C-alpha cells in the first residue's frame, strides 16, 4: 500500500501536496515523489527516502503550478531501492501523462508482453506502475485525434484500462494541459476518497487521496469515496466530471487496511478505521474468554502502535488492567513496511523496549493487530521473558496470515509467513509464547464491516480465496520466484 494524493487548487499546489504526503507517510517509507502541472508544462521531483528528507527548498520551488499529485512508496513489485521506480511515472504521449499508483497488478507478465509486442512501448523498469501508465497512455492515444481532450474520451480510455489490467489500482494522473484524472479498480481494493473546498473566488478546489485524514487536515470536506471502477476527471479550473467505467463493479476493499495499514483517524468506504479496530478488540476478547481462564491474566498490553485500540478494548471487555510495558522509539518507522528482513528484524529491537517493572512476575496478555512474518512477535516474547514475565499469552486481532497477498501488500512468499503450513500450537512454539490466540476470520469480517454498506472484504491472505480469477498456483509460484528485490 502506498499513499497517493492529487489536488486541483486555485493556489500554488506544491506545499499542499507535500503536507498531504507527510500525513500519508505511514503508507510508504521507501521513496516519494511530487509532480505539478503549470499549464502544459509538467514538473517532477522524486527521490528515495521519506518525505522530510527527500525534498530540498530548491526542489519545492521548481514544482510550479496549481494542479499536482504526490506519492509515498511501499514497494510491492520491482525494486524497492531503485530511484527509477520511485513514483510518479511519466510518459510523454499523448499530451504528457504523470501517474501515481497504490496497488499491485496481477497480470504483469501478460501486460509486459502486450505492451512490447502489440503496442510497441518501451518499458525501462520492472515496476507494475510503469505498466499501468503505459496502458493508460496507449488507450488514451487511441481515443484522441486532435489536440482537444474531452471527459468522455478519458472515460472510454479508463473502460479499456479496466478491461486490460488485473489486480488492485487506485491511481491519479496529471494530463498536461487538461486536468487531473483519478480512478479505482472495479473491486475498490485500495482506498481513494474525494474532497472539496469552496474558495468563494473561482471554481471549487478538489482533492483525491488515499485516506480521509488528509482532507480533514487541509480543510476539505469529505465528499465521498471514489466508487470501485469509477473515474473522476477534474479540469484545471475546478470543473469535475465522473463516470462509472467498469462493467460489473463490486466493492470488496482490503481487510488489511483496517487491521494495520490505514491511520485510525481515517474513514474509508464509510467505515471508521478506529472504530473497526475497537470492534476487532471486542471480538478478540470474546475468543480469548473462550480459551483462557480469567484468573490467568494479570495485565493486557498492546504492541505500539497499531494494536492500541484493539488492546484497550480487549482489556475493558475482559475487565483486566491495561498497561503499556513496551516503550516505543518514535524515530523508528513502521517495521513491517521496511524492505528486507534483516532491516525489519534490527528495527524491531531499536523500536521497542520492555520496561521490566511492568513485567516482573506477571502473566501478560499481549495484543498485536496482526502477526505476519512473526518478526515482531518473536522479539516481543523474548523481551517480555527477559523483562521477567511469568506467562506470556500472545493474541492477534487478525486471523493467521497463511497465504501470499497479491493486491498491494508485500508478502508474496508462502515460506516467509510464520503461520503458513503451521497449526496454532506450532506457531506458538515458533514464537516462544505459552499460548497463542488469533481472531476468527468471520469475526474479523463482522467487526470491520459492522453497520456499513460494505458486504464483503478482500481477505485472501487469511483464507487463500483470491477475488480475481487469475491467481492460480502457477501464478503464486511465479510470484515467489520473481519477488521484490
Ligand X SMILES: O=P(O)(O)OC[C@H]1O[C@H](OP(=O)(O)OP(=O)(O)O)[C@H](O)[C@@H]1O
E strand or H helix at 423, and its extent? none
270-281 in b/e form (b: 16+ CB < 10 A) is: ebbbbbbbbbbb
- 26 is a site residue for ligand GLN (CB under 6 A): no
Residue of closest CB approach to Mg ion? 306
Closest C-alpha to 231, from 242, 247, 240: 242
SS3 content of the chain, % helix, strand, coil (to 5): 35, 25, 40
Do the annotations mark residue 298 as ligand-binding? no
Strands of 424-485, DSSP E: 435-438
SS (H, E, C) 254-316: EHHHHHHHCCCCCEECCEEHHHHHHHHHHHHHHHHHHHCCHHHCCEEEECCCCCHHHHHHHHH
Question: Is the Cβ of residue 16 or residue 32 nearer to ligand GLN in the bound state?
Answer: 32
Rounded to an integer, what distance in angstroms lies between the CA atom of residue 367 and that of residue 57? 42
Three cell numbers written together for 277? 479496530
H-type helices in 165-246, by residue range?
A: 213-217
Least separation in angstroms between residue 54's CB and Mg ion is: 24
Q: How far is the CB of 327 from ligand X (least distance, A)?
A: 13
Can residue 362 be called a binding residue for ligand GLN (CB under 6 A)?
Answer: no
Closest CA to 396 of 441, 357, 351: 441
Which residue carries 480475481 as its cell?
468
> Cβ of residue 153: shortest distance to ligand X, in angstroms?
42
- Would you tell me which residues interact with ligand X (CB under 6 A)? 260, 303-306, 334-337, 368-377
Q: Which of 306, 375, 377, 410 binds Mg ion (CB under 5 A)?
A: 306
Query: How far apart are CB 76 and ligand GLN at their closest, in Å?
Result: 4
- Among ligand X, ligand GLN, Mg ion, none, what does residue 371 contact (CB within 5–8 Å per kind)? ligand X
The whole-angstrom separation of Cα 303 and Cα 174 is: 40
State the residue number with the nearest CB to ligand GLN: 2
Query: Which of 36, 67, 108, 127 is in the footprint of ligand GLN by CB under 6 A?
Result: 127
357 annotated among ligand-binding-site residues: no
x/- mask, ligand GLN, residues 389-428, rule CB under 6 A, reads: -------------------x--------------------
Subset of 54-93 contacting ligand GLN (CB under 6 A): 73-78, 87
Give the one entry of ligand X, Mg ion, ligand GLN, none that residue 103 binds, where binding means its C-beta sits below a cut-off of 5 to 8 angstroms depending on kind.
ligand GLN
Q: What are the CA-CA distances from residue 470 to residues 32, 110, 135, 255, 381 (Å)?
A: 30, 11, 19, 20, 39
Whether 461 is catalytic is no
Q: How far apart are CA 40 and CA 291, in angstroms?
A: 64
Q: Which is nearer to ligand GLN, 279 or 405 (CB)?
A: 405
Closest separation in Å from C-beta 370 to Mg ion: 8
Residues with Cβ within 8 Å of residue 346, at least 6 apart in sequence: none
Q: Does the footprint of Mg ion cover residue 107 (CB under 5 A)?
A: no
Which region among 117-125, 206-214, 241-249, 299-307 touches Mg ion (by CB under 5 A)?
299-307
Other Cβ atoms within 10 Å of 150 Cβ, number: 12
**Angle between helical axes of 151-164 and 128-143 (0-180°, round to 10):** 130
Residue 334 interacting partner from ligand GLN, Mg ion, ligand X, none (CB closer than 5 to 8 Å by kind): ligand X
78 binds, among ligand GLN, Mg ion, ligand X, none (CB under 5 to 8 A by kind): ligand GLN
CA distance 412 to 37: 36
Least Å from the CB of residue 304 to ligand X? 6
Per CB under 5 A, the segment of 31-39, 147-155, 168-176, 300-308 that binds Mg ion is 300-308
370 annotated binding-site participant: no
Instruction: Name the binding residues.
Output: 306, 368-369
Contact set with ligand GLN (CB under 6 A): 1-2, 73-78, 87, 101-104, 127-129, 408
Q: List the catalytic residues.
A: 2
Contact set with Mg ion (CB under 5 A): 306
Instruction: Name the binding residues for Mg(2+).
Output: 306, 368-369
Amino acid at each position: 500500500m502506498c499513499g497517493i494524493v492529487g489536488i486541483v487548487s486555485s493556489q500554488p499546489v506544491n506545499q499542499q501536496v507535500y503536507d498531504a504526503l507527510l500525513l500519508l507517510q505511514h503508507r510508504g517509507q521507501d521513496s516519494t515523489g511530487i509532480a505539478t502541472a503549470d499549464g502544459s508544462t509538467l514538473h517532477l521531483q522524486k527521490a528515495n527516502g521519506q518525505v522530510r528528507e527527500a525534498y530540498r527548498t530548491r526542489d519545492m520551488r521548481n514544482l510550479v503550478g496549481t494542479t499536482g499529485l504526490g506519492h509515498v512508496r511501499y514497494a510491492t513489485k520491482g525494486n524497492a531501492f531503485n530511484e527509477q521506480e520511485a513514483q510518479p511515472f511519466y510518459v510523454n504521449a499523448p499530451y504528457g501523462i504523470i501517474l501515481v499508483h497504490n496497488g499491485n497488478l496481477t497480470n504483469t507478465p501478460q501486460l509486459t508482453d502486450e505492451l512490447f509486442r502489440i503496442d510497441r512501448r518501451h518499458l525501462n523498469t520492472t515496476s507494475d506502475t510503469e505498466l499501468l501508465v503505459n496502458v493508460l497512455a496507449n488507450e488514451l492515444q487511441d481515443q484522441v485525434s486532435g489536440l482537444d481532450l474531452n471527459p468522455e474520451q478519458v472515460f472510454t480510455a479508463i473502460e479499456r484500462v479496466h478491461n486490460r489490467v488485473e489486480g488492485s489500482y487506485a491511481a491519479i494522473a496529471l494530463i498536461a494541459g487538461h486536468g487531473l484524472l483519478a480512478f479505482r479498480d472495479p473491486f475498490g481494493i485500495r482506498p481513494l476518497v474525494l474532497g472539496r473546498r469552496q474558495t468563494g473566488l473561482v471554481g471549487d478546489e478538489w482533492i483525491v487521496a488515499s485516506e480521509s485524514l488528509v482532507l480533514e487536515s487541509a480543510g476539505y470536506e469529505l465528499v465521498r469515496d471514489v466508487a470501485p471502477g469509477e473515474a473522476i476527471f477534474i479540469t484545471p479550473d475546478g470543473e469535475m466530471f465522473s463516470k462509472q467505467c467498469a462493467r460489473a463493479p463490486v466493492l470488496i476493499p482490503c481487510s488489511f487496511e483496517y487491521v494495520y495499514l490505514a491511520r485510525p483517524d481515517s474513514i474509508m468506504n464509510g467505515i471508521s478505521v478506529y472504530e473497526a479496530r475497537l470492534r476487532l478488540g471486542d471480538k478478540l476478547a470474546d475468543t480469548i474468554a473462550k480459551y483462557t481462564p480469567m484468573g490467568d491474566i494479570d495485565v493486557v498490553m498492546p504492541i505500539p502502535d497499531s494494536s492500541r485500540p484493539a488492546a484497550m478494548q480487549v482489556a475493558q471487555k475482559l475487565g483486566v488492567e491495561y498497561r503499556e510495558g513496551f516503550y516505543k522509539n518514535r524515530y523508528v518507522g513502521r517495521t513491517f513496511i521496511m524492505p528486507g528482513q534483516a532491516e525489519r528484524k534490527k528495527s524491531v529491537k531499536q523500536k521497542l523496549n520492555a520496561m521490566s517493572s511492568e513485567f516482573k512476575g506477571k502473566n501478560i496478555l499481549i495484543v498485536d493487530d496482526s502477526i505476519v512474518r512473526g518478526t515482531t512477535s518473536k522479539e516481543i516474547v523474548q523481551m517480555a521473558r527477559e523483562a521477567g514475565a511469568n506467562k506470556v499469552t500472545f493474541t492477534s486481532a487478525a486471523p493467521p496470515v497463511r497465504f501470499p497477498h497479491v493486491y498491494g501488500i508485500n508478502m508474496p512468499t508462502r515460506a516467509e509467513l510464520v503461520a503458513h503450513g503451521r497449526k496454532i500450537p506450532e506457531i506458538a512454539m515458533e514464537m516462544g509464547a505459552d499460548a497463542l490466540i488469533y481472531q476468527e476470520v468471520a469475526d474479523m469480517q463482522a467487526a470491520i464491516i459492522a453497520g456499513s454498506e460494505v458486504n464483503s472484504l478482500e481477505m485472501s491472505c487469511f483464507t487463500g480465496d483470491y477475488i480475481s480469477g487469475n491467481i492460480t498456483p502457477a501464478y503464486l509460484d511465479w510470484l515467489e520466484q520473481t519477488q521484490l528485490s
